[in-house]
């Protein structure tokens, strides 16, 4: 749901309201109760809530983890030092 910004023309109070896009604009100020509330023109913000939203859903690009050549080399060295090259869990 979008978050809209409003400003009261009577008292100057500004606030945000979480509303459906199809909802009628608010008109009554929550501070002075006068029907002088006007929707401000601004960038619309969205609140993503509920199950299924992950921090990686909207990130751009695909960053791959960089491998450290020293660590890769040390793993290769340890396999060579055992004298056995089976990686599939055999009994040796």
Which residue range forms the structural domain that includes residue 30? 1-46
Total domains in the fold of the chain: 1
Please state the three-class secondary structure of 20-40 as a single string: CCCCCCCCCCCCCCCCCEEEC
Residues 48-70: tens digit of each pLDDT: 666 776 666 666 655 555 555 55
Whether 13 maps to a domain, the answer reads yes
**Helix, strand, or coil (residue 39):** strand
Residues 32-51: tens digit of each pLDDT: 999 999 999 876 566 666 67
pLDDT of 4 over the 80 cut: yes
Q: Which of 1-5, 12-16, 45-49 has the lowest mean pLDDT?
A: 45-49
Whether 26 maps to a domain, the answer reads yes
Distance of CA 80 to the CA centre of its chain: 45
Nearest to 39, CA basis, from 2, 8, 1, 68: 8
Residues 21 and 6: their CA atoms lie apart, in Å, by 15
Bridge-based pairing of strands 45-46 and 37-39 is: unpaired
């Amino acid at each position: 749901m979008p978050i809209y910004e409003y400003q009261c023309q009577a008292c100057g109070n500004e606030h945000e309201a979480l509303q459906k896009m199809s909802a009628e604009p608010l008109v009554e100020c929550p501070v002075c109760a006068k029907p002088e509330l006007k929707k401000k023109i601004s960038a619309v913000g969205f609140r993503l809530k509920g199950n299924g939203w992950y921090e990686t859903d909207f990130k751009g690009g695909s960053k791959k983890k960089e491998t450290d050549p020293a660590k890769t080399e040390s793993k290769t060295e340890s396999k060579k030092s055992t004298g056995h090259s089976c990686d599939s869990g055999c009994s040796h």
